[in-house]
Amino acid sequence: MIEIAIAAIIVALIFDFVNGFNDSANSIATVIGTRVLKPLHAVALSAIMNFVGPFVFGVAVATTIAKGIVSPEDITVYMIVGGLAGAITWSVLCTYFGLPISNSHSLVGGIMGAGIAGIGFETLVFGGLSKIFAGIVIAPIGGIIFGFLLTGLIITIFANRRPKIVNKTFGRLQIISSGWFALTHGANDGQKTMGIIVLILFSAGLIPELEMPLWVIFAAATAMGLGTFFGGYKVIKTLGMKITKLKPYQGFAAETAGGMMLAVFAVLGIPASTTHAITGTIMGSGAARRTRAVRWKVGRQIVFAWLITIPGSAILGIAFTYLIYLFV
């Protein structure tokens, strides 16, 4: 069983790497879209801040993932591997097509599907899932509202200032705001794989309780940081350049507002989607300047990807779990 648990942990870290490859790109999409930083510099900044995030905000989100999707007493290591395989497959497919889907929701769907395949619907923890689905609803709507309000406030305060000075000022500030958003991304998304690894250790009988070893935090943070550094430019391009053409003050507003939401969610233990948060704040920020500045068609494509993510990854989780049990 130890060998199976080690293999499952490796699969979980691969998912974390893929998460960095796709999802972590969201934290620096706007700083590239506004041309404040070059892609390589922005990705390096995001990788470092994503690594630090979990050490700053604690592990409340990891606890929700470990206890709030399926019953920890019921799920097996084989089911977790099947769920992770479904989540990774879904994430890779969407990354290939340039769709900034939520890897958080891919993970939730994959584990749900694995639990359903292995035990049935009775293993689902509906109390924890209600918290997760609340985050799904709140993140994009709150992002649009926060992005719109903060951008409107900046426009009002700096209305009589010269555009060149405003752009230069917020160009510098945006380096800070993008780092802040990457930090809160690591604090939220970085914890999800930690929760899965702890669940693997508990299911394999390697730890007596659902506690967070320090090495798990280091391993998950490192995997996400490396994934961020080595990939994700295609998704960055979709978010930072295709949704709306951003000014530096809009990028600052989008990142600051999105980071505030993710920080609150991390403290409350709500597994929020960084993709939902940053896309919502980008749209809200663009709409504050003028509604026609937002390319709503791209937004609709992204929303479609969100709607099919949990069902799609759940189906793949079910399929992989059945496949695994054919050989064990």
Higher-scoring residue by pLDDT: 247, 201? 201
214 to each of 23, 149, 194, 285, 303, how far by Cα in Å?
A: 24, 39, 10, 38, 36
pLDDT for res 238:
52
How many domains does the structure of the chain reveal? Answer: 1
| Pick from 127-131, 212-216, 255-259, 297-301: least confident | 297-301
3-state secondary structure of 124: strand
pTM: 0.82
pLDDT digits (tens, 9 = 90+) for 24-67: 566 666 666 666 677 777 778 888 888 888 888 888 899 888 88
Residue with tokens 């900046």: 154
CB 73 within 8 A of CB 204: no
Structural domain containing residue 273: 2-325
The CA angle 126-27-83, to the nearest 5 degrees, is 35
Q: Which two tokens stand for residue 184?
A: 């809160």
pLDDT digits (tens, 9 = 90+) for 223-251: 887 887 776 555 555 554 454 566 788 87
